[in-house]
Structure 1
């Protein structure tokens, strides 16, 4: 399956705005939690998405990572980045 094939099957394509909450508290937190649940429970291409985002964001600081991707927040993805070194 090439990149375009799995991206076309991603559940987030149905409501992309939900996966980019504007904040981290209140209704935005609820949206983020819902987006994570949708990724984890309803998306059949979550692993391909996770592999892709970890490659794409490798070495990026937290301020360059945005949205809920593969059921993870930017901070959660940062912790999975194996290219990071301790400061």
Structure 2
């Protein structure tokens, strides 16, 4: 995780990236965290880390946990349940 040294968030308050709630101050913190990540040179590595190892809380690579869950869900192969294969 050498990339962490170059992260734009290195000098920020960590609590900014772990907003509590879904309204008011949490939305402001989420927007501020995404803004920091938007100018980060290692945001891709950060997001890849979060998607691969699965930290569930917080904003990683500019993507909050709910959005990462959606990304992971969409990237999983779909199995056709109930569909028969040709014989």
Q: TM-score range by the shorter chain?
A: 0.7 to 0.9
Match of 1:60 in 2: none
Change (3 A) 1:84 1:67: farther
1:79 to 49, 52, 70: 70
Structure exhibiting the larger radius of gyration computed from Cα positions: 2
Give the TM-score, by structure 1 length: 0.76
Match of 2:29 in 1: 31
Aligned-residue RMSD, C-alpha: 1.9
Runs (4+) of structure 1 exceeding 6 A deviation are none
Match of 2:82 in 1: none
Q: How far, CA to CA, are the matches of 2:63 and 2:32 in structure 1? A: 11
Change (3 A) 1:13 1:29: same
Give the TM-score, by structure 2 length: 0.76
1:18 to 12, 16, 35: 16
Q: When the two structures are aligned, how many residues end up with a matched partner?
A: 76
